Amino acid sequence: MVPKLTCEFLGTFWLVLGGCGSAVLAAAFPELGIGFAGVALAFGLTVLSGAYAFGPISGGHFNPAVSIGLWAAGRLPAGLVPSYIGAQLAGAIVGAAVLFVIASGAPGFDPGGFATNGYGEYSPGHYSLLAAAVTEGVMTFMFLLVILGVTDQRSSPAFGGVAIGLALTLIHLVSIPVTNTSVNPARSTAPALFVGGAALSQLWLFWLMPVVGALAAGVAWRTILARRAEPAGGRLRAA
């Protein structure tokens, strides 16, 4: 169990440090030119690299919504879910703490949003609560379906990490203007702890909707999609 939880800690630490770090450090300087696209790619790269580094040991969730969705799909024992979520939250918080120490080393440091998520006036594009809720729920739903699909026994496991990383990149390209992209309660919680205020008061949405989307994906996969035909045809059985 310790190696699994250690990998979940390290993978989530890497996701927050790399993904949020690109937003807080690099995107803060327009002359570097990474913009939303660069931040989206950074998040995708953290998951891609973490999946190959730590996935063989823990499964490479790095996200409470992913663990909950995999449980709903019958892929993760219920007893592991709380421990996985605890390790993910711890890794995210330590990642945000390291990032805060680095960012605060700049002259005139102002944490600003510190890569937090939000809606209304705290949304990058000032999108409404409803728009933010739909975005987070649907994007997490699709993210889990990609994860479940590429880790299915019918898929090629060698390319799973690439597909998952690219999926997260695409999700960020679509949803950064709406919510600054969560689809991951641990990623949302850690920066919010350092910012406080509205980041904490709006945090409920970035737990609720990713979990709802993940549960819906897990149930959909288990009841509809995780079925395959027998070689002889005709009869279906669960994959």
Binning the chain into helix, strand and coil, the percentages to the nearest 5 are 70, 5, 25
Structure-token pair, residue 147: 């994860």
pTM score of the predicted model? 0.89
The pLDDT assigned to 31 comes to: 66
> Identity (one letter) of the amino acid at 18?
G
Out of 3.30.450.20, 1.20.1440.20, 1.20.1080.10, 3.40.50.460, the CATH code matching 2-228 is 1.20.1080.10
Task: State the DSSP code for 180.
Answer: S
Question: CB count, 10 Å around CB of 37?
Answer: 14
List the beta strands (DSSP E) in the chain: 227-229, 236-238
Domains in the chain: boundaries: 2-228
Q: Which of 160, 178, 193, 174 is nearest to 66 (CA)?
A: 160
* Predicted confidence (pLDDT) per residue in 80-114, tens digit: 999 999 999 999 999 999 999 999 898 877 777 89
The pLDDT assigned to 41 comes to: 94
Residue where the block lists tokens 């913009």: 35
* Predicted confidence (pLDDT) per residue in 110-127, tens digit: 777 899 999 999 999 999
Low-confidence ranges of the chain (pLDDT < 70): 28, 30-33, 155-157, 227-239
